Amino acid sequence: MTVQAARQIPYALPLIGDAEIAQVTEALRSGWITTGPKTTEFERRFADYVGASHGLGLNSCTAALHLALLGAGVGPGDEVVTTPLTFCATVNTIMHVGARPVLADVDPRTLCLSPERVAQHLTPRTKAILPVHYAGCPADLDAFTRLAADRGLKVIEDAAHAIGTLSRGRPVGGIGDFTCFSFYATKNLTTGEGGMLTTEDQDASERLRKMALHGMSRDAWKRYTNAGSWQYEVEAAGFKYNMTDVAAGLGLAQLDRFDHMQAVRARYVERYNQAFKDAGFELPADSDLPGDRHSWHLYVLRLDPMQLAIERAQFIDELKAAGIGTSVHFIPIHLHAFYQRELGVRPGDFPVTERAFSRMVSLPLYPKMSEDDVDYVIERVLEIASKYRR
């Protein structure tokens, strides 16, 4: 019989308060529960926050990635270089547009896509580079934009973890050709489900806005308002990717207090780092480039096998027994049988990624945690580390 721990700290919980409830209630009472004025306001305010000229609210980051690839002109016969240390959506969307994902290993310091490795994988078929800001750590965008400029390529950023990330002092969101954000329930800013595509390219923004709503002519959603018309034109075989006003209401409230929530995350990260720095772990990857700032979406601790005589799976089980939820980010793309068949990759191809993956555990990190919750996680982690110290 399994005995449940007296204290339970889930891996992740959203911070939802009266402001979020009020925004959603307002949307429900307004009659606009799908795409409407709150979505438009959220697009504008979010784009302003990340320093982008154009923002397109969507139902997921996956939708943003798909549209970004289309906006970059990626299609059958093309290649897109990306990282094996990512969620499957990054690679799947490349396949959705008929292109081939080409994997390159990560930087051992940041765990983001390595510019040096990318350069080794560029071919005449390469159309875009797709870095992931892993865990919220900024990828080396300067290096990627130089590579892209030299070869006429597009840079598409997977910023699912990177709301609040800075690269050389600039917010992630207005740097690459296209940037894709996630507002999933576990993210630093949540709309429940949702995403945003930002770009400086006005023509692409207008074209992709149509593609996000069935390929219908611009502002077709207004056809049910006094300002709209029943007439519309279908201009392309588009998709159903639009954001709802209910989701956007959540996003607006979250954006109002986003800086505060980020400050809480940073404070908890500092406490974790101080507690774990000499306890048999490798601390989370970070950038040491000037002007870079981590958004701390994830706190990824790595076990040091030279200091700790415990396997990752057992470490997770012992934390679970103590009531602490964890996760692993991510099972690398090339270790999945599907991608081995489709892409011809295999274990051993990306040694930096594999070595990091074999030892990593993501600990709870979110502003809904209390100081006591953080104390409890620290105490239990240190107890396990002490028990299995070599």
Residues assigned a catalytic role: 187
Q: Where are the domains of the chain?
A: 18-256, 258-387
For the segment 104-147, what is each residue's pLDDT rounded down to a tens digit?
Answer: 999 999 999 999 999 999 999 999 999 999 999 999 999 999 99
Instruction: Give the per-residue pLDDT at 222.
Output: 64
Instruction: Using the predicted structure, report yes or no on whether residue 217 has a pLDDT greater than 90.
Output: no
Single-letter amino acid, residue 174:
G
Q: 258-387: same fold as 18-256?
A: no
Mean pLDDT of 327-349: 98
Amino acid at 116: E
Neighbour order of strands in the sheet with 54-58: 54-58, 195-199, 178-182, 154-159, 126-130, 79-82, 100-103
Select from 292, 377, 259, 255 the least CA-distant residue to 109.
292
Half-sphere exposure of 232 (CA within 13 A, CB side): 19
Question: Residue 1 pLDDT > 60, yes or no?
Answer: no
Contact between 57 and 42 (Cβ < 8 Å): yes
Over residues 19-33, the pLDDT tens digits come to: 999 999 999 999 999
CATH architecture of 258-387: Alpha-Beta Complex (3.90)
Q: Within 10 Å of residue 372's Cβ, how many Cβ atoms?
A: 10
User: In CATH, what number does 18-256 get?
Assistant: 3.40.640.10
Residue-wise pLDDT for 373-386, tens only, equals 999 999 999 999 99
On whether the pTM is more than 0.85, the answer is: yes
Please enumerate in sequence order all residues whose Cβ is within 8 A of that of 146, keeping only pairs 6 or more positions apart, or say none. Answer: none
Euclidean distance between CA atoms 288 and 170, whole angstroms: 15
pLDDT on residue 348: 98
For the chain, the 3-state helix, strand and coil shares in percent, each to the nearest 5, are 40, 15, 45
Confidence label for 160 from pLDDT (cuts 50, 70 and 90): very high
Residue 207: Cβ within 10 Å count: 18
Mean pLDDT across the stretch 180-194?
A: 98
